[in-house]
Amino acid sequence: MSIIIFVVYLIAIAVAGATTFAIGFVYSMNDLLISGIVCLCLFIVSLIVFHFCFSKYYFTKTQTQTNPSRGFTTNNMNTMKRNKSDTDLELINRESKANAVIDPEVDEQRLV
């Protein structure tokens, strides 16, 4: 909620500064020109403060999220050999057969 209020504040300061600067420039009124410059400087300072506050808020939010690619490794993807006729399922089956642990009891049961 405070971020929304601060954004509204930034928009109001920018509009007020730009309007007073433009009116002061058009009508050659030095007081309005100076107040417009002051408002625009205040807007720039407020924008920098908003950036630091929001980036701190944003990075604390994103650091708590889990990384969805943590379980995937590129090692298998880099070592797999692919023929032009292979489908993904054939490639996965071939890779799982190559990495399977050979158990002699299981092999004997298959032969029987």
Task: Assess if residue 91 is contained within a domain.
Answer: no
pLDDT digits (tens, 9 = 90+) for 56-111: 766 666 555 555 555 555 555 545 555 555 567 776 777 777 766 666 665 555 55
Task: Assess if residue 77 is contained within a domain.
Answer: no
Task: Assess if residue 107 is contained within a domain.
Answer: no
Residues sharing a CB contact under 8 Å with residue 18, sequence separation 6 or more, in sequence order: 36, 40
Q: In which domain, by residue range, is 16 found? A: 2-63
pTM: 0.47
Q: Name the token pair of 36.
A: 């417009």
Alpha-helix runs per DSSP H in 2-103: 2-26, 30-63, 75-79, 88-99
27 against 2, higher pLDDT: 27
Task: Assess if residue 22 is contained within a domain.
Answer: yes
Q: Name the token pair of 72.
A: 């995937």
Task: Assess if residue 82 is contained within a domain.
Answer: no
Domain count, the chain: 1
Where residue 38 falls among pLDDT bands split at 50, 70, 90? very high
Phi, psi of 18 (to 5 degrees): -65, -40
